[in-house]
Chains A and B, each alone.
Chain A
Amino acid sequence: MPLMPKRVKFRKQQRGTNKGNATRGNKVSFGEYGLQLLEGGWLTARQIEAGRIAARQYASREGKLFVRVFPDKPISKKPLETRMGKGKAEPEYWCAVVKPGTIVYEIAGVPESMAKAAFARVAHKMPFKCRFVTRRHA
């Protein structure tokens, strides 16, 4: 079952705009290390899930992984060889709208070397440039 909301108010959405940088969700808040996006765009439910599996498999049972984004935007797509018009197409997949600076994953309870290696694998699954970050202490 892909990540998607349980209930929605409207089945379809317009594309919207995605400008600026992240002002929320741009700090490591739950774990000790995180993966931060340096670019913005749409992160699909499949990409989020692929990243989660990549990190989970590398860290096996160790540590706790936090996924900080949720795909709540339905993206519709017309079937192939269909003429234009006849209204908006059916939703095809779900995505999260992310901005530069967004922390996508966090991990706690593992050494830094393991967190780095796990997030390096995750970064390959991401459609954006990413960087490894650590929590800022007081």
Chain B
Amino acid sequence: MSQTTPRLETQKRDKIGTRYARRLRDEGRLPIVIYGHGHDPVHASVDTREFHGVVSHHAHLVEVMVDGQATPCLLKDVQYDYLDRDPVHADLAIVNLDEDVEVEVGLELTGDAVGLKTSGAMLDQLMTTLAVRCKANNIPEMIEHDISALDVGGSIHVSDLAMPTGVAAVDEDEKLVAHIAVQAEKPEPDELDADAEAASDEPEVIDKGKKEEGEGDEKE
């Protein structure tokens, strides 16, 4: 186990369910479940702040205590609250450090592209994550790609990305990662003024609805 692998202290949960999970969160702990490799699922909890620190550093591999021994685990899934701010639950999958795993890693485009100096040019990044296959102990934090030479109309595909040794992209080579496009100038109609006059405009009513509904009021 490498020294850079973050370690999380866990406490086993005896009582599971919404109510107990909520109480744990109120105490500053995050409910987690650890599973995989033939082990029975273990319900545990970790310190929320500690966990937040691990996730914010783009860690994929963590070391947790399962049945009294330090076990490497893959951060499989993290659920967040409705504001997408605080984690509410996490899934950890036990892995062998020598086995191949597929994970989503962040994709960061660095440098100022030449093409962006053109008026109206915009970098359209279609992929912000990349699925990669690599050894569990060799997961890159992030894939970086320099786009300094990218000009207007130019594009980057998955095949153009420089992968670290031992890491292979799972996505197809032809998949578009980013491109620089120049936005066409569109005249902005003065929609707010048009609102008043178009207020009476109504959408078409599909036949399944009451055909006579609009006329029904006039009968009165």
Contact = CB atoms under 8 A, between A and B. Distances in A.
Interface residues of B, number: 41
Given A46-B192, A101-B84, A133-B84, A11 B213 contact: yes
Contact of B192 (A22, A50, A133): A50
B208 A9 contact: yes
Contacts of B82: 21-23, 26, 99-101
B214 A11 contact: yes
Contact of A7 (B122, B123, B205): B205
Contacts of A86: 217, 220
Given A9-B208, A137-B106, A4 B195 contact: no
B172 to A, nearest CB: 19
A99 B58 CA distance: 30
Contacts of A64: 122, 124, 183
Contact of A10 (B80, B142, B195, B209): B209
Contacts of B153: none
Interface string B188-220: 100110110011011111101110011011001
Given A61-B120, A100-B82, A91 B195 contact: no
Contact of B220 (A6, A32, A87, A99): A87
Contacts of A84: none
Contacts of B104: 138
Contacts of B155: none
Given A93-B199, A138-B104, A138-B105, A61 B209 contact: no
B203 A1 contact: no
A2 interface: yes
Given A61-B183, A135-B128, A1 B123 contact: no
Contacts of A136: 80, 84
Nearest to A101: B82
A131 B214 CA distance: 41
A131 B203 CA distance: 33
A112 interface: no
A21 B83 CA distance: 9
A108 B204 contact: no
B192 A49 contact: yes
Nearest to B188: A56
Contacts of B208: 9
The 9 closest A-B CB pairs, nearest first, are A21-B82, A109-B122, A101-B82, A137-B106, A138-B129, A7-B204, A138-B104, A10-B209, A138-B106
21 contacts: A1-B191, A2-B201, A7-B203, A8-B209, A11-B205, A11-B209, A11-B213, A32-B125, A46-B192, A50-B192, A63-B122, A64-B122, A87-B217, A93-B199, A100-B82, A101-B84, A108-B122, A109-B123, A137-B128, A137-B129, A138-B105
